[in-house]
Amino acid sequence: MHQCDWCFTPVRFLATGVILESLNNLALRYREGDNTVNKSKRILTAIVGIGLMGMATLAVAADKMMVDPAKILSETNVYGLYNTFKVQPSYYQISMADRSKAAAEVEAVVKKHSDSVFVQAYLTRGFKSESDFLLRMHAYEPAAAQAFLTDFSATSLGRNSKATLALIGVTKGLNHTTKEKSPNLLNALKSTSYSADAPKYAFVIPIDKSPEWWNKTEKEKLAMMEDHTIPTLPYLVNVKRKLYHSTGLDDTDFITYFETSDLVAFNNLNIALHSVSEMLYNTRYGDPIVMGTIMSVTDVVEAISK
């Protein structure tokens, strides 16, 4: 059922009831010879028109609902875009009074596109010399994220920031550790979930694979991915991860995204990953590795605007 079919049923019921009652009264007065019927008809016509316009407006409002973060972050065939920005010196030539309005300006753009794009922000300043902040976007159509970025670039912060990295990938189902191919490992993955406190830091790591990897058989890839996955299991309780496929969409093959508050565990996870044979087929791991503090869009802009 479409959202409009249930969200505004009470409103429609009330409006319909008022109109029907008015029509009944009008018919009764007509039968009794009331000479004000013509005037009443004109009034009722106006009421009906206003009521229908109101319901149409409510229906449009229902259609323009925010993207569900939990849904879009868990579905396949969703596009993830990662853009880092370096704030230019010109931004700090703007008065403090005007910079204090930047957060509201950016939030307005986020809200404008909230029906088609889910936007998250990270402060990278101090962690990476190449950037000051990261915008992570999820959309069902890349053009929707592009429209958001176009509007963002027109804000005072956007006009005075330089994009230093842009990555795009799409979420897909598991290729190798599936129920049919590796049921035991899949069960182990499902039974090991994140249980630590809300993560504080995020990492973005692009990965490229060599031609030798792509030309291996499915059986060979499965064996290596099992070898890759098993050492990571102890760390999944305090490190979240998400994979995006980018081959042909970008100059990289995969984008890996991590969240954690335990940087020692994350370091140990990477050591474990570097110890497996599958890593030998990586021609790129990072370069750059982007690290950021997870914050709201408003908090990131306010931190940068001081």
The C-alpha atoms of residue 216 and residue 219 are separated, in whole angstroms, by: 8
243: which 2 tokens?
A: 């994979």
> What 8-state DSSP symbol labels residue 4?
H
Catalytic residue, chosen from 12, 29, 125, 241, is: 241
Q: Roughly how many angstroms between the first and final C-alpha of the chain, as a whole number? A: 47
Before 69, cis peptide (omega within 30)? Answer: no
The answer to whether residues 55 and 11 touch, using CB atoms and an 8 Å cutoff, is: yes
Distance separating alpha carbons of residues 135 and 158, to the nearest angstrom: 12
Nearest to 116 by CA among 141, 83, 89, 86: 141
Beta strand extents in the chain (DSSP E only): 79-87, 117-123, 133-139, 161-170, 201-209, 239-245, 254-260, 282-285, 290-295
Q: Answer yes or no: 12 catalytic.
A: no
Cβ–Cβ under 8 Å, residues 200 and 238: no
State phi, psi for 77 to the nearest 5 degrees.
60, 35
**DSSP structure class, residue 128:** -
Q: What does the alpha-carbon distance between residue 168 and residue 204 come to, in Å, rounded to a whole number?
A: 12
Helix (H) or strand (E) holding 220: helix 218-229
17 vs 143: CA distance, rounded Å: 43
Question: Which residues are marked as active site?
Answer: 241
